[in-house]
């Protein structure tokens, strides 16, 4: 009589519980590695016509063309047609605090606009203008230089509406020809050349945290 021999099951059995534990352990290790990763905060003088991101399907110029630092992302936006100070970091908690409207972080821009900016316009911008049925918060506004067909104006706001400075001037009958951010909270652009970046000093990082 032939003896029936059952084929040996060579498949490794893994319980659903064990799979969940292993997956949780892997996620925990990944999270711990990110938490142990040194915090980096970068100040970048973004040139005109550069997107404030690291990838672009259309092949346009991005931060990747200038910053060879992995894992950092822009804290907020600076439109492609604007230039100046842009903060990048791998510290997600810091980014969230920097962008949260409750912290009222001041951002200063040097705007070159068409025409002659009158004192009445300056007073109106300081008081707030109507954008999308909502009044902007009072701004700090100071005329820097008057040209024949343009005016250089220093503007400080703490809101983060889309293209806010440009739209504020447009509401007053002026088109922005050039817009450069020169300060973000306690951080100043200074004499950092266009297209260059540097890491913040420990003192600058401390002042940034203290301002939030």
What's the DSSP call for residue 58? T
Catalytic residue of the set 79, 81, 132, 191: 79
Helix axes 202-210, 92-99, angle to 10 degrees: 50
Q: CB pairs under 8 A, 24+ apart, for 91-94?
A: 91/39, 91/40, 91/41, 94/39, 94/41, 94/208, 94/209, 94/212
Distance CA 76, CA 96 (A): 9
Sign of the C-alpha dihedral, residues 66, 72, 78, 83?
A: negative
Distance CA 75, CA 88 (A): 5
65 is known as an active-site residue = no
Residue 20 has which token pair? 């969940």
Residue 186 has which token pair? 């306690």
Nearest Cα residue to 53 out of 18, 77, 36, 29: 77
For residues 137 and 157, the answer to whether their CB atoms sit within 8 Å is yes
**Active site (catalytic) residues:** 79
């Amino acid at each position: 009589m032939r003896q029936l021999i059952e084929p040996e099951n060579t498949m490794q059995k893994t319980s659903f519980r064990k799979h969940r534990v292993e997956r949780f352990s892997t996620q925990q290790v990944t999270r711990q590695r990110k938490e142990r990763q040194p915090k980096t905060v970068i100040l970048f003088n973004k040139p005109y016509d550069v997107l404030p991101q690291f990838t672009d399907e259309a092949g346009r110029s991005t931060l990747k063309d200038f910053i060879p630092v992995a894992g950092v992302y822009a804290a907020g936006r600076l439109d492609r047609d604007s230039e100046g100070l842009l903060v990048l970091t791998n510290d997600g908690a810091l980014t969230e605090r920097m962008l949260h409207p409750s912290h009222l972080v001041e951002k200063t821009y040097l705007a070159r606009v068409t025409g002659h900016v009158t004192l009445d316009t300056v007073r109106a911008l300081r008081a707030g203008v109507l954008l999308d049925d909502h009044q902007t918060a009072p701004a700090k506004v100071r005329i820097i230089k008057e040209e024949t067909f343009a005016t250089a104006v220093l503007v400080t706001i703490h809101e983060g509406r889309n293209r806010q400075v440009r739209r504020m001037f447009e509401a007053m009958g002026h088109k922005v020809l050039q817009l450069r951010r020169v300060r973000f909270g306690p951080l100043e652009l200074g004499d950092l050349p266009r297209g260059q970046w540097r890491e913040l000093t420990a003192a600058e990082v401390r002042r940034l945290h203290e301002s939030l």
